């Protein structure tokens, strides 16, 4: 492995350790259990799951580093690459309390043996009840993490996130968004050409690796604050039912639209690690309509998307 790759892999492993420890402290009852897995074609991962905690009903914090022959779809004569490495950390947390939001983070790095590389990732929030101060706090902190690297990032990556986590068949967002970025590389990288027509997003005058670290390190302080604000709130059966119903939307998004999930399912990835994102329980009620003037109705309105900062 190159020095850069080693540094990134080690960082992601430490990140997984740190985040699991912090979430265990927040939960106060359960610890993560670990599954190590190998990818037959090269590499593997370290899946960590927490279930039936005091705060977290189900959560996964997964590290992986896979490598091997470049998939055909990424090959091209011009590119002249044969081998790839992909490494990252993926997190999805489903809390017990309907007022604590579901959170998702992904940070990832991809490189090929021709010298090309890029970063991707993001953090987004899916509350069953959108609490406006919480959504605002969340976006402010993400903006701060972006701004200290590149002031052009937050508006671009906020928009990208809104577009990505959109449930088209429901005409609503999965949650209140956050930031999402992909194919991010240095403006002065040797092969600056961005893939998939994303060049308007995927360049920075600054160091993308430092940016990814800023995002990753914002996860614990942001989520700890949102958990602590809401975890002891009392809730009714109506609140719980609504949470289970909204989790249905999370399932719909992940199984119908999520590119990472589909890529994993189609490339024979480790199913239990991919689908750890699914909630412990989700409900579907035919043609459910929130009551007029209710907090549930307000949430649906806010899931149309807006500026939070």
Q: Does 51 bind its own copies (CB under 8 A)?
A: yes
Of 222, 260, 212, 219, the C-alpha closest to 7 is 212
Residue 265, exposed/middle/buried by CB under 10 A (0-12, 13-18, 19+)?
Answer: middle
Minimum distance, C-beta of residue 262 to its own copies, in the bound complex (Å):
8
Minimum distance, C-beta of residue 187 to its own copies, in the bound complex (Å):
37
Minimum distance, C-beta of residue 286 to its own copies, in the bound complex (Å):
5
Q: Does 259 bind its own copies (CB under 8 A)?
A: no
Q: If residue 107 lies in a helix (H) or strand (E), which one and from where to where?
A: strand 102-112
Of 159, 51, 165, the C-alpha closest to 105 is 165
Q: Which of 86, 224, 265, 300 binds its own copies (CB under 8 A)?
A: 265
For its own copies, the closer CB: 126 or 230: 126
Cβ–Cβ contacts within 10 Å for residue 13, how many?
Answer: 15
Q: Does 187 bind its own copies (CB under 8 A)?
A: no
Catalytic residue among 94, 104, 139, 183: 104
Which among 122-130, 175-183, 190-198, 284-292 is the span making contact with its own copies, rule CB under 8 A?
284-292
104 is catalytic: yes
Which among 5-13, 203-211, 215-223, 272-280 is the span making contact with its own copies, rule CB under 8 A?
272-280
Minimum distance, C-beta of residue 284 to its own copies, in the bound complex (Å):
4
Which letter does DSSP use for residue 169 in this model? G
Cβ–Cβ contacts within 10 Å for residue 10, how many?
Answer: 12
Distances 266 to 13, 101, 108, 259, 261 between C-alpha atoms, Å: 26, 29, 19, 10, 9
Q: What is the Cα–Cα distance from 95 to 193, expressed in whole angstroms?
A: 41
Q: Which of 28, 271, 294, 307 binds its own copies (CB under 8 A)?
A: 271
Q: Does 170 bind its own copies (CB under 8 A)?
A: yes
Q: Which of 248, 260, 290, 305 binds its own copies (CB under 8 A)?
A: 248
What would the DSSP string read from start to end of 284-307? --TT--PPTTSHHHHHHHHTT---
For its own copies, the closer CB: 77 or 259: 259
- The structure tokens 């899916």 sit at 126
For its own copies, the closer CB: 91 or 184: 91
Q: Does 300 bind its own copies (CB under 8 A)?
A: no
Residue 114, exposed/middle/buried by CB under 10 A (0-12, 13-18, 19+)?
Answer: middle
Minimum distance, C-beta of residue 275 to its own copies, in the bound complex (Å):
7
Minimum distance, C-beta of residue 57 to its own copies, in the bound complex (Å):
11
Of 220, 201, 211, the C-alpha closest to 146 is 211
Q: Which of 35, 140, 217, 225 binds its own copies (CB under 8 A)?
A: 35
For its own copies, the closer CB: 127 or 279: 279
Q: What is the Cα–Cα distance from 58 to 304, expressed in whole angstroms?
A: 27
Active-site annotation, residues = 104
Which residues bind to its own copies, rule: CB under 8 A?
Answer: 35, 49, 51, 58, 60, 168-170, 244, 248, 251-252, 255-256, 262, 265, 271-272, 275-276, 278-287
């Amino acid at each position: 492995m190159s020095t850069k790759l080693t540094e990134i892999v080690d960082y992601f492993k430490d990140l997984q350790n740190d985040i699991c420890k912090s979430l265990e402290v927040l939960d106060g009852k359960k610890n993560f259990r670990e599954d190590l897995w190998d990818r037959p074609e090269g590499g593997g991962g370290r899946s960590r799951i927490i279930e039936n905690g005091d705060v977290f009903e189900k959560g996964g914090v997964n590290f992986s580093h896979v490598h091997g022959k470049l998939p055909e779809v990424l090959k091209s004569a011009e590119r002249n690459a044969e081998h790839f490495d992909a490494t990252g950390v993926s997190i999805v947390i489903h809390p017990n309390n309907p007022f604590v939001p579901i959170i998702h983070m992904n940070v990832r790095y991809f490189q090929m043996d021709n010298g090309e590389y890029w970063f991707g990732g993001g953090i987004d929030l899916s509350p069953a009840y959108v609490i406006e101060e919480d959504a605002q706090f969340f976006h402010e902190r993400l903006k701060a993490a972006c701004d200290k690297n590149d002031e052009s990032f937050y508006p671009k990556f906020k928009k990208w996130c809104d577009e990505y986590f959109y449930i088209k068949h429901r005409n609503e967002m999965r949650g209140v968004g956050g930031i999402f970025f992909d194919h991010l590389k240095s403006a002065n990288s040797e092969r600056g050409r961005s893939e998939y027509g994303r060049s308007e997003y995927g360049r920075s005058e600054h160091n993308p690796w430092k940016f990814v670290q800023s995002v990753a390190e914002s996860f614990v302080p942001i989520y700890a604050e949102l958990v602590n604000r809401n975890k002891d709130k009392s809730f009714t059966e109506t609140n719980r039912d609504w949470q289970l119903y909204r989790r249905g939307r999370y399932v719909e998004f992940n199984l119908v639209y999520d590119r990472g999930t589909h890529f994993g399912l189609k490339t024979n990835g480790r199913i239990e690690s991919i689908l750890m994102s699914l909630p412990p329980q989700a409900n579907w009620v035919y043609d459910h309509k929130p009551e007029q003037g209710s907090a549930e109705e307000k949430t649906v309105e806010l899931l149309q998307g807006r500026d939070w900062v």
